[in-house]
Structure formats: structure tokens, C-alpha cells
Structure 1
């Protein structure tokens, strides 16, 4: 009798849990996405789309100063988008004749197919396809990357299909892994250590972009890049070890993923030829949003040094 009770209790315990979970899951899957703010809506309407293998990819393309032979391409991080660069955009157009950024496949305003095998190799191919679409595949390119975009940049350098003049990273890709849940609350927690953190409206914009076009349903597929990084670590770290172009790292000491000073010591050991800019003590994971002027000063100092 006791054995039978012990078997029955767990079964009945799961019944109400299951009955509660099903409607909650249904609500989550059908919850309407947040409304786009005026600024984010303007970013979307000022952008364009091109087609890659039947998929629509969102991008920004702005004309800047005349005279320089080089362009700059921004590669955004995870789980955000090209919109991360909106505070530094005008500053970049004052230095480069053309400034380009895209939303990788599965992010913000680009298509988010499911099921789909998202990969860093595919994202790198999309960058190359965009430059061909714009007739820029033979131009001299400066890569400005962040987080997830760093790995794409490493693949671009490894493939050798683009003429990359220099690369600047806002956060390198061999960071410690952390486990987190994707919600607006997470985005808030990520910035809690900073005093020049993105505003409430900027955090909401991030969340709106993630949720756009049912993006919450592809997050788990996009996260497979972590496994890809483990599998092809030698290829991408090798791209860093053998790099011949100038490379620079802009670092916020309050970065919760890559803690100071341990991470900086590891970075300098791994890339002794790379130069480094360390921003103010209160700058964290998104320096281009937290301190756009400090970031631009560091980046332009690097660009103008050669």
C-alpha cells in the first residue's frame, strides 16, 4: 500500500503542474510583441532589406565623409542588433565615407526562420553577400564588432574573402559562459553595475527587437553558436593567433562576463600584438551605449594611429 502511494503521489503532483504549464506556455507563445519606440521605429524605417537565399536581411547603409578609401562595417552582439550602434553612428560617418551595419539572421528586423540551423559560418556568408549586394566586396574594410559579432569577424579574417584593413572588438568571443534567461528583467540585471547604463527606453527597445517577429521562439536555436564555438575553437582562436592586420580591444572594466583584471591579462597573453583601450571604471558590457563619446575617442585613436 505504501509503495503504491509512493508511486501515485508523484503522478498526481505532475497533473496540476501540467495543467498550469500548458496555458502559460500558450500565453507566452502568443503574447504580442512590445510596441517599437519612436527612435527604434525610425531606425527600422531608415534601413533597407536585401535577400539572402530567400531570406530578408535588414541593414543600415549611410554615406559619410568624402576622401577616405575605407568603409566600416559594424557586427553586433547577442542577443541585440545593429541598433546597438545608433549612438556612435553619426560619429562614424564623420570619419568614414560609408558606414554599414546589419541585423544578423534571427535578430531584430531580419527574418527569423524556424526551424533553422543558425551558424556563424552562415552569418559570415550573409555579411559577404551584403557587401556584394552593395558592390563593396573589393573595398578596404574596417570591422567593428561586439560579442557574437567578434566570432563572425574572426571567421571573416579566417576565410580571407574580404580585404580587412583592421578589426576593433568591443568584447572578445572567448568570454566565460554564463547561463541566463532572456527577459526584459535580464537586460536590466545586465546593466545594474553601471552608472551610465542604457536608459529604460533603450532596454525596452532591446526587448522589443528580440520579441519582433516571434524572435523569442528562435533564441534557443541562436544559442547553438556556443556549441559551434567549442567545436571550432581552434579555427577561430587560430584566426586571432595568426592575425596580421591591426587589431584593437575596447574594454569596460565592469564587464560582468569578462572580469577585470583577469580577463585583460588573458587577452594580452593571447593577443600580445593587439592594442587595448580601457574605458572608465563604471563602463561595462556595452561601451558603445554606456559611453559613446569615450568609445568613439578610443576607436578614432586606434584608426588614426596607422
Structure 2
């Protein structure tokens, strides 16, 4: 009798081959509606999806939302309506390689390019000279840090940032604990292309996950931007986050950014606070925005 693992292998190979040719699942009605209500603009020949909603009439306030990894602008849908009751414009995009935006392969994805795409979107919308409130999560926190660095340098054509609110992002490499799957996909190896296809996520490519390495390489640039600007900064934190664990992350954050205010949500809230506790997240953000 053959070894059991040989039998399993003989059965698994045809099943895996069949699965790899199964088309991705259909979009849900909610995602169809989200796509239909958004628009696209072109950045260097690549289509970028974005949402732009008009909110309070007469208010000058604009908020730009930067989503996390490995998701999309849809992460904000539970607080979208609440934001339109406070802001004149509520804007979000799918970063290159995410959501409904193009996913060029091969491509050297970088935080710098994503930040440039945000700037290009605001130029496209004619908002390049307006003061912008940034609200970010996870991967978007790093993009926000790069935008903050450019703002600090006072370079022509960069965003003018009025305030920044971060949430559950690994802004400090030393307290960031990527999941095992992220490590495997980031570092490559024979499992990387198989897992990429099996999970139906183009975003789980090695190129996209290099932001983890970029964050470590450019730590001084990006953390330095947070510590050196004088705009209001806030952090909304789900303390059950396995990627940025409590209290290790929060202790370093408060030590590094003593000027920043912090909102800690309920104990059971984890890495996606805007989805897990939208009302708590929205209340925390509004409390920050109304404080200056």
C-alpha cells in the first residue's frame, strides 16, 4: 500500500488544478452598488477607482479616507453617511492594486506611488489648494505618513493637510506583528503564487506586501513626519488588534507622540474598528474633529 501522503497528493493535484481555473466569485449587490456610485480617473495610464460624495452644504471641510491592506475604500461604507453629515466632501479611493483599481502585474508597488496617486486624485478634483483632513487605517496610515512628510517639506503641488487621524496601523516596525500568511507572501518562495491564487486576492502579491519592508527602511522619514508637524493628530485604536497588540503598541505611540490624542475603543474591538464598531469609531473621530 502506498504511503498516505502519496495518496493524498494524487487526489489533491487534480483538485488544485481544477480550483486554479475556477473564476473568482461574483460581486455582492452591495459591492455592485458601491462600484456603480463611484468613478474612475487615470493615473499614468492606470485606472483608479474613487468615491466622492457631497455632504453638508456651506461647509468648507473635506475629508479624504485612506484604506488598509488588503481591502479597499469599501472599508468605510459603515461610517460614510455619518461623515457626509459633518463634511462638505467625503472622498475615498482604492489604492493601485486594490479594490476596483487596476492591478498591473508585474509592478513595483510602493507607498510613494500610492501617495502620489492621492495627490493626483485631488488635482483631478480641483482640490489641490484646499486644506484636507486625512482619515486613514492600516496600510493607509503609512500613505498618510508619506503625505505628511511631503506637506512638512512644503513642496509645491503637495497636499495641505489640516488634520490627521490614524487607526490601527503598524506605524512602528518594532511593534508590528504581521500575520504568518503575510510573511510567507511577502518573502516569496514556492508557496507564494499558489496562496495568491487560492485566496482570490491579487493584492497578496509580493509587490504589494513590500510596504512592510518599506516601512522599516523609511522609518525615520515617516515616524519623523509624525513627530515634527504641528497639525492636530489623533489615533483611534481597537485594542484587541493582533497586528498592533495592546499595550505594547499604545505605550510606544504615546511615548513617541505625546501631543497626539488617542481614543481607545471597547476591549473586543480588533484590527478593523470602523467595521467592527462604526458608531464608536465615528463618535471618536467627530470628537477629534470638533476639538480644534
Provide TM-score, normalisation by structure 2: 0.84
- d(CA) in 2 for partners of 1:96 and 1:296? 13
- What residue number does 1:164 align with? 161
Q: Which of 232, 247, 250 is matched with 1:264 structurally?
A: 250
Q: 1:61 aligns with which of 52, 59, 71?
A: 52
Match of 2:202 among 216, 234, 242: 216
Q: Retained in 1: the 8 A contact 2:97–2:203?
A: no
Change (3 A) 1:45 1:292: same
Alignment of 1:79-94 (within 5 A): 79-94=70-85
Determine if the alignment matches structure 1 residue 245 to structure 2 residue 245. Answer: no
How many residue pairs get aligned? The number is 266
- Whole-angstrom distance in 1 between the partners of 2:40 and 2:10: 43
Change (3 A) 1:217 1:133: closer
Deviations 1:5-64 (A, max 9, x none): xxxxxxxxx999998787566445433111111111110111110000000000000000
Aligned counterparts of 1:80 and 1:265: Cα–Cα separation in 2: 27
Q: Distance in 2 between matches of 1:266 and 1:110?
A: 34
Task: Give CA deviations for 1:89-134 in whole Å, capped at 9, x if unaligned.
Answer: 0000000000000000000100000000000000000000000000
Structure 1, unmatched stretches of 5+, are 1-13, 183-209
Structure with higher Rg: it is 1
Counterpart CA distance in 2 for 1:305 and 1:164 is: 16
How big is the shift at 1:262?
Answer: 2.1
The structure 2 residue matched to 1:115, chosen from 92, 103, 106, is 106
Gaps of 5+ in 2: 152-157, 183-195
Q: Say if 1:60 and 1:254 are closer, same or farther in 2 by CA, change over 3 A.
A: same
Spell out, residue by residue over 1:256-301, the C-alpha distance to the aligned partner (whole angstroms, 9 max, x if none): 1222222211110011100001111111111110111111111000
State the match for 2:187 in structure 1: none
Query: What TM-score, normalized to structure 1?
Result: 0.81
C-alpha RMSD of matched pairs (Å): 2.4
SS in 2 for 1:87: helix
Range with greater deviation from structure 2 (84-93 or 279-288): 279-288
SS in 2 for 1:142: strand
The answer for the alignment partner of 1:74 in structure 2 is 65
Q: Say whether 1:150 aligns with 2:141.
A: yes
Structure 2 residue 132 is the aligned partner of structure 1 residue 141: yes
Closer, same or farther: CA 139–29 of 1 in aligned 2, 3 Å:
farther
User: 3-state SS of the aligned residue for 1:149?
Assistant: helix
User: Does the CA contact (< 8 Å) of 1:108 and 1:215 recur in 2?
Assistant: no
Query: Aligned partners of 1:248, 1:27: CA distance in 2, in Å?
Result: 48
Q: Any residues of structure 2 matched to 1:1-306 within 5 Å, and which?
A: 26-160=17-151, 161-172=158-169, 173-174=171-172, 175-181=175-181, 215-216=201-202, 219-306=205-292
Give the 3-state SS of the residue equivalent to 2:78 in structure 1.
Answer: coil
The question of whether the paired residues in 2 share the 8 Å contact of 1:254 and 1:285 is answered with: yes
Structure 1 CA distance for aligned equivalents of residues 205 and 92 of structure 2: 21
Question: What does residue 188 of structure 1 align with?
Answer: none
Q: Write out the 4+ residue segments of structure 1 that deviate beyond 6 Å after TM superposition.
A: 14-22
